[in-house]
Amino acid sequence: MEYVVGNWKMNLSHAAAVQVARAVSASSAKLTGAEVWIAPPFPYLSIVAEELSRASVPGGAARPRLGAQHVHYEPEGAFTGEVAASQLKDIGCDFVIVGHSERRQFFGETSALAARRTLAALSHGLSVIFCIGESLSERQEGRTNQVLDAQLEALAQTLNGNPTCLDGAVRSPALLIAYEPVWAIGTGQSASLTDIKEGHAHIAAWWKKQGVAPLPPILYGGSVSPDNFAEILKVPLVSGALVGKASLDAEKFSHLARLAVTK
């Protein structure tokens, strides 16, 4: 199964969010064989949830799933500005994006914090897209694999020793990994097919070394568009994409979903 996940980031108005959600719902109703997920900004989660539930979905096709772009690791309490996993679940979210490079870059997110968020979300029945990836300087210094390992090891350390261990997390609710080279995000220049292949292969090898199965779906993220997605989908171990800019345009995003179905 291929995943096409739209991360709207801090974009769109209320009216535009409704419009895009409605259009994505309508086009996904015609698709079977791809998971279409969208992560609007917090204020629009409920209205998008309503739009998605209103869409008539014929048998066989799956309703697009709703997710958030961030979650707090504590269950509740005095944490001004934060949102709990239980609250996201409560309003109809299915998943959350964690550890995105923009959170790492602008909001001091660390792998350890991202891992704690992952544990909280999984424990409340939310799927998690755990984002990892190297910066341009880390790649140029030849440290890509080392960076990916450190990000994954933080996750393993937090999940193992908990009821939601690494092994259990992949099963249900789902844990997905997004490989997003930081230098390919929002630049209009996706990573080369070779870079994507190497990154995904490294993540899969790390996973196998942990001795846990099955392998989580590994998505690619970074300037995915209708022009490059068909080729990216052919790369071994690519199970779909985390999409920023192209997910704001319902037509482009639906095009990506159709490409995923025909993989």
Contact footprint for ligand PGA (CB under 6 A): 7, 180, 185-186, 221-224, 242-246
Q: Residue 178 pairs with which residues in a beta bridge? A: 131, 219
Smallest CA-to-CA distance from 45 within 27, 18, 22 is with 18
- Single-letter code of the amino acid located at 207: W
Q: Which is nearer to ligand PGA, 96 or 242 (CB)?
A: 242
Active site residue 255: no
Active site residue 109: no
Question: Measured from the CB of residue 83, what is the shortest distance to ligand PGA in angstroms?
Answer: 19
Q: Which entry of 35, 51, 72, 100 is annotated as an active-site residue?
A: 100
Q: Which is nearer to ligand PGA, 166 or 178 (CB)?
A: 178
Question: Measured from the CB of residue 211, what is the shortest distance to ligand PGA in angstroms?
Answer: 30
Query: Cα–Cα distance between 69 and 179 in angstroms, integer?
Result: 16
Q: Which is nearer to ligand PGA, 145 or 225 (CB)?
A: 225
Q: Which entry of 138, 180, 200, 255 is annotated as an active-site residue?
A: 180
| DSSP helix, strand, coil percent of the chain (3-state; round to 5) | 45, 15, 40
Give the tokens for residue 55. Answer: 């869409």
Task: Name the residue with the smallest CB distance to ligand PGA.
Answer: 244
- Single-letter code of the amino acid located at 181: P
> Is residue 127 within 8 Å of residue 164, measured between CB atoms?
no
Question: Measured from the CB of residue 159, what is the shortest distance to ligand PGA in angstroms?
Answer: 22
Q: Which is nearer to ligand PGA, 34 or 184 (CB)?
A: 184
Q: Residue 242 pairs with which residues in a beta bridge? A: 5, 221
Query: Cα–Cα distance between 172 and 195 in angstroms, integer?
Result: 30
Query: Cα–Cα distance between 179 and 43 in angstroms, integer?
Result: 27
Question: Measured from the CB of residue 245, what is the shortest distance to ligand PGA in angstroms?
Answer: 4
Give the residue numbers annotated as catalytic, written as ranges. Answer: 100, 180
